[in-house]
Chain A
Amino acid sequence: MSETQPSQDLPQEDGHQSRAPHRVIGTPPPAQARRVLAEEPGSTAPESPRELPASPANPAKAKTAERIVAALFILSMLASIGFIAAYVGLEVHSVDATLRSNLALGLSMGIAFMAVGAGATIWVRNIMPDVEQVEERHTLASTEKERKAFKKTFTEGAEASGFVKRPLLRRTLIAASVPLAVAPLVILRDMGPLPGTSLRHTVWRKGMRMVVYGPNTPLRAADFSIPGQMITVAPEGYTENQDVLAKAVTIIIKFAPGVLVPNRPGQPGTIMNWTVDNIVAYSKICTHVGCPVALYEQTTHRILCPCHQSTFDATNGAQILFGPAPRPLPQLPIGTDADGFLIATSDFHEPIGPAFWELG
């Protein structure tokens, strides 16, 4: 804008002093020509005084600032060109190339934005004349008269519609809208199946082999022989099935003889019938909110959930030692098949994972 002004400086000054003579001499611009049809009475009134000064208080400072701002804008332009060049010139498709590309693109983009932002800020602060203006506030509430008028208009409308006077219409309309409002909820029904008892079961069945999760190989009880070991196992044939794994994933831990605490009537403990050679199996899904209980501390026999730190005693039927989990990890009954491979001897006897309303 300022670049285009100097050539027209004189006419501008003229125009500001008195517009009327200028209009007589010059060719009327289109917008003014249209006013011939309906001349506005106020159009010849003298202009009100300026509300904003045209130039800053300190022109020398503004001149310096102008150069800095221009330099910043040019820097931004160069950075933007650099961004395009980096996009065209730098390929990705490998970690190193991506890092190079990210550095070049991000840096040029950041500079392009920051430079214009900094330039604009300096422009406002040092080139635009500093002003402080006061605007009046008015109470937000409408006047009493306006409120009355509104009330009248609204009441008239309500009366004309008969909504108040004709209860039959009103009530039937409400009656009509209730099922209409329920309908959108009803059509959400097919978003999912009903829970049924599905949360109570996993795929573990009598005789189903456990495979080591990852290599997905079955495991002989004899090969899992070092006390203190913990591994994650999955039901054979389901190692890629996330829906199954989300419930069936299990940890097995090997103990030295005599470490496991057998359960007695009325007392918590490990159900020894469900173990093989001091190998015990627990659900890996935390009974708090379902994170995998993946941490095991050999010396203290503690199973720890890394999410919310529920801690279970692995020797003692996964009793809770600390944390928010409300139930022990369910124990999976295990045995070995004819070839000595570890198998489940049934499903879990109670629901695994987080508590739910119907858990009981």
Chain B
Amino acid sequence: MTATEKLIDGTGGWFDDRLRGAQITRTWLRKIFPDHWSFLLGEIALYSFVVLLLTGTFLSLFFQPSMTDVVYHGSYTPLDGVHMSQAYASTLDISFDVRGGLLMRQIHHWAAILFVAAIMVHLLRVFFTGAFRKPRELNWLIGLTMWVLAFTEGLFGYSLPDDLLSGTGLRILEGVLLSIPLVGTYVTFFLFGGEFPGHDIIPRLYVIHILLIPGLLLALITAHLLLMWHQKHTQMPGKARTDANVVGQPFYPYFMAKTGAWFLFIFGVTALLSTFAQTNPIWIYGPYNPSGISAGSQPDFYMGFLEGALRMWPSWHWNVGGYSFAFSVFLPAFLPLGLIITGLAVWPFVEQWITGDRREHHVNDRPRNAPTRTAIGMAGVTFYGILWLEGANDVVARFLNISLYLTTEIARYAIFIGPVVAYWVTKRICLGLQRKDNVLLEHGVETGIIRQLPSGEYTELTKPVSEHMRAVLEARATRPQIEAPAGDDEIPAPSARGAMGRLRVSLNRVLTESIPLPIGNGHGDGHGNGHGAEPPAVTAGDTHSDGAERDGGDGTGA
């Protein structure tokens, strides 16, 4: 009887007598977690949220969300005797008169930046690896909602200190709300409690920032994790990894220890960043006043794309029947954001419709193996990236030493051309990488050893790829995303009839464009693996060998 066993019998027994948990807890402890560096991205988001909750709680002990005018007489002497809101004064106090206050403020701010950044990179990982596919569409939508909540939370959070920079941000928020057709003026007056700035906005943002949005996020994170736990994590392709299993290490003790360590790393990194890299020095900005501004004003990075949209939009404004359509504000504020969010939200369903693939997927795609999806994703990233860069166009202009207006002119063209170029380039790169994979499969890995044959001929020795590598390279074969063909002489399948059907078939051609795996060498093995990988619930009519052959025609023609 070891001490561990005694503990389990004693304390564990006490709980089990009341909860009957031995069976289920054992299953949980043995739950298998697959390993890949990219699976850590979501964890960064999760743990930076925990850091945010902890540091945020500390800050709320000292912060006063009040817009009452006070005259400052604290430790930061450059602002001695200056009129400011109590919110700003208490932020100065947290920074200079509370031990550890500055550190906590900075960790909170860095963790917020990390939180949104990690969500975005995690979202891209999920998109590019196809991890959003059935059965994970719900978790995709939950994650997307959390991204929107996260940057809204960030905006409201950095607005609280009521400093000159964030106050300007609120002024812009006022302008954006005013631009909403029909109800804008009312929405603005109700949110601000009257005209800008009023005395209500900081306390209202405060309660949204520390209660409403964190509560929603907490609920959604819980749902996100529960779904992940229930559906089991996806895995990257590899030897013996199929859609019908999970290969990895058990939750206890491996994953528990690793993920715990990861949390400590995240906390440690934000602490060190906050020690050595200053963020949001509100005492330099000064208190808000509606007349002040500084050049080079930038929001936090996650609002940059909206700022960029506001900067590049033409001055569209129409008066119709005595009412104003303030489209130079309303459209940039809502259209690109709406496009990005709607596009991301519907993509899993659009892709499912185009491919007709209704099976469960648990082995992720390598991005190159879904060239069109990857290309569309990169087009989206480029669209976002151009907006984001334009959001800092004054910095860009100064850095490149070009005219400020030129940066905007370029952005106005680039926003249309950039995504198209990105789409084309990405697709070519993906197809090229697929060809490279084929070379590896057919000829093996170059060893760098040159051998002279008796005939005098030189050849380079190659080594067949390892079994694991082979499985990775052949993962492409397990993607039968082929719609029943409306073949030349065949009667079109029901799903391919009509205008929508024809559209679907042509979209399908584009979406499933891929280089076939080499026939013969490797294909036999790949075939076997592929079949092993197929879950019992396959309903798609086509086998992937059909797909590969038909694809071959497309691929070589491309």
List A residues at the B interface (Cβ < 8 Å): 1, 4-5, 8, 11-12, 15, 22, 26, 29-32, 34, 51-52, 87, 90-95, 98, 101-103, 105-107, 109-114, 116-121, 123-124, 128, 131-137, 139-141, 188, 191-195, 198-199, 213, 232, 234, 240, 242-243, 245-247, 249, 284-285, 288-292, 294-295, 306-311, 320, 322-327, 353-360
Contacts and interface: CB of A to CB of B under 8 A. Distances in A.
B97 A92 contact: yes
Nearest to B250: A133
B171 A291 contact: yes
B294 A306 contact: yes
A15 B8 CA distance: 15
15 contacts: A92-B97, A94-B75, A106-B103, A118-B261, A124-B257, A133-B247, A141-B537, A192-B194, A234-B291, A309-B394, A324-B313, A327-B317, A356-B326, A357-B178, A358-B323
Interface residues of B, number: 122
A117 B258 CA distance: 8
B471 interface: no
Contact of B1 (A29, A112, A353, A357): A29
Given A102-B103, A306-B296, A135 B76 contact: no
B557 interface: no
Nearest to A358: B185
B273 to A, nearest CB: 9
Nearest to B253: A128
- Which of the listed residues A133, A284, A325 has the most CB atoms from chain B within 10 Å of its own CB? A133
B51 to A, nearest CB: 10
A130 B136 CA distance: 30
Nearest to A139: B537
Interface in B44-91: 69, 75-76, 83
Interface in B176-194: 176, 178-186, 188-194
- Which of the listed residues A12, A52, A110 has the most CB atoms from chain B within 10 Å of its own CB? A110
Contact of B99 (A87, A95, A121, A284): A87
B254 A128 contact: yes
Contacts of B182: 357
B478 interface: no
Contact of B293 (A93, A292, A355): A292
B128 interface: no
A52 B250 contact: yes
Interface stretch (B262-270, B344-352, B498-506, B518-526): B262-270
A353 B262 CA distance: 49
Contacts of A191: 190-191, 193, 200
A130 to B, nearest CB: 9
B263 to A, nearest CB: 8
Given A15-B5, A106-B274, A245-B289, A34 B13 contact: yes
A114 B2 CA distance: 32
B292 interface: yes
B3 A242 contact: no
A122 B49 CA distance: 25
B271 A323 contact: no
- Which of the listed residues B179, B194, B292, B293 has the most CB atoms from chain A within 10 Å of its own CB? B293
B3 A5 contact: yes
Contact of B32 (A117, A134, A306): A134
Contacts, number: 337
B248 interface: yes
Contacts of A192: 189-194, 198, 200
A14 to B, nearest CB: 9
B88 to A, nearest CB: 12
B456 interface: no
Given A31-B9, A105-B103, A124-B254, A137 B362 contact: yes
A34 B16 CA distance: 12
Contacts of A306: 293-297, 394
Given A113-B264, A242-B197, A357-B324, A324 B292 contact: no
B268 A110 contact: yes
Nearest to A295: B295
B315 A357 contact: no
Contacts of B100: 87, 101, 105
B178 A354 contact: yes
Interface stretch (B237-245, B334-342, B415-423, B440-448): B237-245
Contacts of B189: 192-195
B316 interface: yes
Closest 5 CB pairs of A and B: A289-B175, A106-B275, A326-B317, A117-B264, A113-B268
B428 interface: no
A117 B326 CA distance: 52
A124 B291 CA distance: 57
A285 B191 CA distance: 20
Contacts of A242: 197, 288-290
Contacts of B186: 194-195
A356 B274 contact: no
Given A113-B264, A128-B253, A131-B250, 13 more contacts: A34-B17, A91-B99, A106-B276, A110-B271, A117-B261, A128-B257, A243-B195, A307-B297, A309-B408, A323-B315, A324-B312, A327-B317, A357-B181
B175 A354 contact: yes
B275 A103 contact: yes
A359 to B, nearest CB: 4
Given A1-B3, A113-B268, A355-B178, A102 B102 contact: yes
B31 A135 contact: yes
B178 A188 contact: no
Nearest to B328: A324
Contacts of A114: 264-265, 268-269, 272
Contacts of B10: 29-31
